[in-house]
Amino acid sequence: MENVLGFVALAAGLIIGLGAIGACIGIGIMGSKYLEASARQPELMNALQTKMFLLAGLIDAAFLIGVGIAMMFAFANPFKI
């Protein structure tokens, strides 16, 4: 039983860690592309900024769904014997 709980803790850590890395990389790439596009066409800055913040929220939402699933496994463990 302790072995299963250890694997669940490891899996929850991996879910949160890899999700955080993916979200950070995605937002970093998106931010750099926004800055490049704003430098090329400053008149589109407001429209691009709106779309950038919308996408940032969607990227963070995907990460937070992963955190919720990891917390479900950690605290309401369906694999408990």
Active-site annotation, residues: 60
- Taking residue 17's Cβ as centre, other Cβ atoms within 10 Å add up to 12
User: Rounded to whole angstroms, how far apart are CA atoms 17 and 78?
Assistant: 21
User: Rounded to whole angstroms, how far apart are CA atoms 23 and 19?
Assistant: 6
